[in-house]
Amino acid sequence: MLSDICIMIVDDEQSILEALTEMLELEDFHVEVFKQPDRALQSLRENSPVVVLSDVKMPKMGGLSLLAQIHSLDKDIPVILMSGHGDIPMAIEAMREGAYDFLEKPLIPDVLIQQLHRAIEKRQLILENRKLRQGLQQHQGIESTIIGDSSAIQAIRQQILSLAQANVDTIIYGDTGCGKDVVARALHEYSERKEQRFIAINCGGMSESLIESELFGHEAGSFTGASKRHIGKIEAANGGTLFLDEIETMPISVQIKLLRVLQERAIERVGSTKTIPLTLTVIAASKENLAQLGDAGLFRKDLFYRLNVASLTIPPLKDRPEDVLPLFHFYVSQGAKRYQKPVTEADANTLNRLLQHDWPGNVRELKNAADRFVLGISEASIDSIKAQDESVGCYEERMEQFEKQLLIDGLRATQGQLNDAAELLNLSRKTLYRKMRKHQLDKQNFKLSDDSGQL
């Protein structure tokens, strides 16, 4: 059989039923036939794995009435109507009422088979999508945190549980936006340290002096401007977990000091001679291979060896397409709660676009697409996925286009209110300003006109 989807044929003429059954079974379709539409309805339920092929002109209940009653049970069951009357207005009405297609008798076998294949694919996608959503609601434990059905994600879940109990320093590798921070937090949440603090610091873009103060802290008066004592991130994480994101960007001089802290499991604040003992686990994340950076002299090998007690790698989303829909549903559910919106079921076209996209921005890009879907601005986001895929621009150009579209969607959704837009886009206000200048976006272009009663 082609699939688990059944072709339900409804026609009051026995000869038509017999002819269609013979033709379709020769093409390896699974077929059920009904002469009476009400009997066909009685056999249907929500989530029935069927595609319906029905005549239009039948006594007691016509094809359009049958279509309406089928869709009252499940609006996504594909219904193909057929008629020998060449009734164009009826065809238009059928399509308007949600028929999958309208075919004229005598049926052209190749056209019918092609449409049945397409309808089966649509029904399979819808049913798999619903199964995924139901599965997410039943997930507990780590499956509710590390989302996905791919073998890679299943292996990562097992690694997290093992490493969390082992309480060892770990390096997480993965491209930008693939969820290294989520894995790091899971390593903390499933460890014995879960009741203690999880302290995260992003090493990227911080000056050497700033990152040193943030990590190690300082005493009052230890340098110009140090008016009071500052507890660094390392000390704040004592007893818990310290997460160092983008560690490959950490200045070499700071790497030396961090190595000493990790070796001695103790710290001294800048300007102090007092040693503070530490009990903590360090998780580092990098999008670069630290061993190769060490060979090139761009990262201290001794720090790499100290951190590399264990490591795990998160593959990019394009290499694990099985995870796209589970992640999309997860973020749609989260977005609906965050923005207090109802959860809307995505149609088959949207799901297909999600599956066909290669997600250069990884999970972060998918999360943004889910948020915009919840906010009802998916036309500018999900549709743009297809346009980006068809573009001939390089990776950097596509990412620039995607970033600009994100900003436009966020500003449009919030009517140019920068605080709201920054929160929606998960950016600081300063970063939002900088990116708006970069893409020459003016908040005034997104504000409502005065006669709307709002700014």
Cα separation, 173 vs 171, whole angstroms: 6
What tokens appear for 62 in the block?
Answer: 């016509």
Mean predicted lDDT score pLDDT of the chain: 85
**Structural domains of the chain, ranges and CATH numbers in brackets:** 6-137 (3.40.50.2300), 146-315 (3.40.50.300), 318-452 (no CATH)
Q: Give the other-Cβ count within 10 Å of 171's Cβ.
A: 23
Does the pLDDT value for residue 224 go beyond 70?
no
**For residues 356 and 32, what is the distance between their CA atoms, to the nearest angstrom?**
33
Average pLDDT, integer, range 254-277: 90
Share of the chain above pLDDT 70, in %: 88
pTM of the model: 0.62
Amino acid 84: pLDDT: 75
**Of 242, 246, 267, the residue nearest 257 (C-alpha):** 267
State both tokens at 280: 């903590």
Cα torsion 310, 315, 320, 324: sign: positive
- Is 183 within 8 Å of 200 (Cβ atoms)? no
The amino acid occupying position 335 is G
Where are the extended beta strands (E) located within 322-452?
none
Q: What is the mean pLDDT of residues 206-230?
A: 78
Burial of 130-164, coded b for 16+ CB within 10 Å and e otherwise, reads bebbeebeeeeebbebbbbbbeebeebbebbbebb
- pLDDT band at residue 378 using 50, 70 and 90 as cut-offs: low
pLDDT reported for residue 384:
55
Greatest Cα pair distance, the chain, in angstroms, is 97
In this structure, what DSSP letter does residue 274 have? -
Instruction: Express each pLDDT in 398-447 by its tens digit.
Output: 567 777 877 887 888 788 888 888 877 778 888 888 888 888 888 888 77
Neighbours of 177 (CB within 10 A): 19
The DSSP code for 192 is T
- Residue 265 confidence (pLDDT): 93
